[in-house]
Amino acid sequence: MENKHKKFIRRSLYLANKGMGEVFPNPMVGCVIVKENEIIGEGYHKKFGGAHAEINAINNVINKNDIEGASVYVSLEPCTHFGKTPPCTDKLIEYNPKEVIISNTDPNPLVNGKGIKKLRNNNINVISGVLEKEGKKLNKRFFINQEKKRPYIILKWAETSDGFIAKEDGSSKWISCKTSRTLVHKWRSEETGILIGVNTANKDNARLNVRLWEGRDPIRVILDPNNKLEKKTNILNDESISLIYNNKQNKIQGQKHFIKISPFKLENIYYDIYKRGIYSLLVEGGGFTLNKIIEKNLWDEARIFKSQLKFFKGIKAPNIKKNIYEKIGEDKLFKITRNA
pLDDT, tens digit (0-9, with 9 covering 90-100), for 154-197? 999 999 999 999 988 877 778 999 999 999 999 999 999 999 99
Distance CA 292, CA 281 (A): 15
Go through the domains of the chain in sequence order and give each one's CATH number: 4-145 (3.40.140.10), 150-337 (3.40.430.10)
Are the C-beta atoms of residues 39 and 11 closer than 8 Å to each other?
yes
Higher pLDDT, 65 or 167: 65
- pLDDT for 224 equals 97
- pLDDT for 215 equals 86
* Dihedral pair phi/psi, residue 124, rounded to 5°: -105, 120
Burial class (CB in 10 A: 0-12, 13-18, 19+), 157: buried
- pLDDT for 235 equals 86
* Dihedral pair phi/psi, residue 182, rounded to 5°: -65, -40
Q: How large is the greatest C-alpha to C-alpha distance in the chain, in angstroms?
A: 70
Q: Any idea what DSSP says for residue 330?
A: T
**Count of alpha carbons within 13 Å of 185, Cβ hemisphere only?**
15
pLDDT grade for 92, boundaries at 50, 70 and 90? very high
- Taking 60 as the threshold, does the pLDDT of residue 199 lie above it? yes
pTM metric for this prediction: 0.88
Distance CA 193, CA 89 (A): 33
Distance CA 27, CA 123 (A): 27
pLDDT grade for 229, boundaries at 50, 70 and 90? very high
Q: To the nearest whole percent, how much of the chain has pLDDT over 70? A: 98
- pLDDT for 339 equals 63
- pLDDT for 81 equals 75
> Is residue 54 annotated as part of the catalytic site, yes or no?
yes
Instruction: Of 115, 103, 85, 131, give the one whose Cα is nearest residue 29.
Output: 103
Active-site residue, selected from the candidate residues 2, 36, 38, 54: 54
256-260/242-246 β-pairing: parallel
Q: To the nearest whole percent, how much of the chain has pLDDT over 90? A: 81
